[in-house]
């Protein structure tokens, strides 16, 4: 395969970046790299919190910051609200992918106020009462309340992100209606992290149409 220099230049010159800014998350999601590679084996998750100085270097180059951890949840960076404020003050755009719901309720309005323009994606996989069936340690009903709170503070509608599993594939319409009722966007996602065709979490239809409803 011929190497394409233009592709390399496009990658280096891109203006958006995904960041794993910490190493902390209280969830134990069965198919997450955090669980499969580390905690299920009794290993400590490696990494550290990004410093304010290094984050400023990121802002000096990139115009969109996607806070979406592969082994962490970004809100557990001890200075996350300050990071959001920096994005806002320097007129960058950002998005946050969040699922742990471990922070106290009173923390969230402070985070939303720090940058009301940030787009928040909250992962509730199934009806709120059932989401812990995959996201171990998650309080889905609390996260649903946080989703409602977010709608009051943010400029852009927050997104309810719903990954399809066997236990929730028949609840999509009900969840979608719940999203409509609180005036938030609803996105269904397919997973590819099945350990086999007989994986008990695998839905009967693993290829739902990706959609933002």
Phi, psi of 64 (to 5 degrees): -130, 130
Model pTM?
Answer: 0.89
CA diameter of the chain: 54
The torsion region of residue 124 among left (phi > 0), alpha (psi -120 to 50) and beta comes to beta
The torsion region of residue 184 among left (phi > 0), alpha (psi -120 to 50) and beta comes to beta
What's the burial of 173, exposed, middle or buried (CB within 10 Å: 0-12/13-18/19+)? exposed
Domains and CATH numbers, the chain: 5-212 (3.20.20.70)
Hey, CA dihedral for 32, 34, 39, 40, is it positive or negative?
positive
Asked if the model's pLDDT at residue 78 lies above 60, the reply is yes
Percent of the chain predicted with pLDDT > 70: 91
Write the pLDDT tens digit of every residue in 120-161: 999 999 999 999 999 999 999 999 999 999 999 999 999 999
Q: Which has more pLDDT, 21 or 14? A: 21
The gap from C-alpha 72 to its chain's centroid, in whole angstroms, comes to 9
3-class SS at 193?
coil
Residues 162, 125: Cα–Cα separation, whole Å: 5
Asked if the model's pLDDT at residue 173 lies above 90, the reply is yes
Asked if the model's pLDDT at residue 172 lies above 90, the reply is yes
What is the pLDDT at residue 205? 81
Closest among 101, 105, 213 to 157, alpha carbons compared: 213
Q: Which residues contact 55 (CB under 8 A, 6 or more apart)?
A: 21, 83, 86
Residues 71, 56: Cα–Cα separation, whole Å: 22
For residues 149-177, give the mean pLDDT.
96
């Amino acid at each position: 395969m011929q190497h394409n220099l233009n592709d390399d230049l496009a990658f280096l010159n891109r203006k958006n970046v995904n960041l794993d800014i910490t190493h902390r998350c209280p969830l134990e999601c069965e198919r997450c790299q955090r669980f499969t590679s580390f905690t299920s084996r009794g290993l400590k998750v490696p990494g550290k919190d990004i410093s304010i100085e290094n984050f400023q270097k990121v802002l000096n180059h990139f115009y969109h910051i996607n806070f979406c951890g592969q082994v962490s949840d970004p809100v557990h960076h001890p200075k996350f609200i300050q990071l959001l404020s920096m994005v806002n003050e320097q007129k960058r755009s950002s998005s946050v992918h969040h699922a742990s719901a471990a922070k106290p309720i009173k923390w969230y309005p402070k985070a939303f106020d720090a940058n009301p323009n940030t787009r928040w994606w909250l992962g509730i996989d199934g009806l709120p009462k059932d989401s812990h069936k995959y996201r171990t340690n998650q309080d889905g009903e609390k996260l649903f309340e946080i989703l409602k709170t977010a709608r009051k503070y943010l400029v852009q509608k927050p997104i309810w992100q719903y990954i399809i599993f066997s236990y929730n594939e028949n609840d999509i319409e009900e969840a979608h209606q719940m999203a409509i009722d609180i005036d938030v966007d609803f996105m269904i996602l397919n997973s590819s992290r099945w350990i086999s065709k007989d994986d008990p979490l695998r839905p009967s239809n693993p290829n739902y149409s990706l959609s933002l409803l």
